[in-house]
């Protein structure tokens, strides 16, 4: 039985790193026959990461659009409020008076002209 020294562990790590850099690590571990499975696993991991990034991008767009929609709803409600204020008879009569018009609200019903 061989005893291990610290130098042997260092040499093992050095050889392993060199094998990784040269691309021989899997061959030294004798796992070459499982290469297709390993490549397939990396492909699946890559797809999962890509899909999660796509989902994250879509969700960020949804959140931005929700904020824009809320702001547009506020603007819309302000415009509706202004329109309701302007469409009141009293305010219309006041605005016509400010513009110098003599038009007033009708005091009696309109006359129907028959043919």
Q: Domain-by-domain residue ranges, the chain?
A: 1-30, 31-98
pTM, rounded to two decimals: 0.49
Residue ranges in the chain whose pLDDT is less than 70: 1-2
- 38 within 8 A of 26, measured Cβ to Cβ: yes
Residue 59 confidence (pLDDT): 97
The pLDDT of residue 1: 63
* Phi, psi (degrees; rounded to nearest 5) at 39: -65, -40
**How far is residue 17's CA from residue 7's CA, in Å, rounded to a whole number?**
15
Compute the Cα dihedral for 33, 36, 23, 17 and give only its sign: negative
Taking a C-beta distance cutoff of 8 angstroms, is the pair 64, 58 a contact?
no
């Amino acid at each position: 039985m061989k005893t291990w020294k610290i130098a042997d562990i260092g040499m093992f790590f050095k050889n392993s790193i060199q094998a990784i850099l040269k691309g021989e690590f899997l061959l030294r571990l004798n796992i070459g026959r499982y290469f297709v499975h390993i490549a397939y696993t990396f492909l699946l991991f890559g797809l999962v990461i890509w899909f999660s990034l796509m989902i994250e991008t879509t969700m960020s767009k949804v959140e931005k659009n929700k904020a824009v929609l809320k702001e547009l709803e506020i603007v819309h409600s302000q415009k509706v409020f202004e329109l309701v204020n302007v469409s009141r008879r009293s305010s219309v009569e006041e605005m016509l008076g400010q513009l110098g018009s003599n038009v007033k609200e009708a005091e009696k019903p309109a006359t129907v002209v028959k043919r």
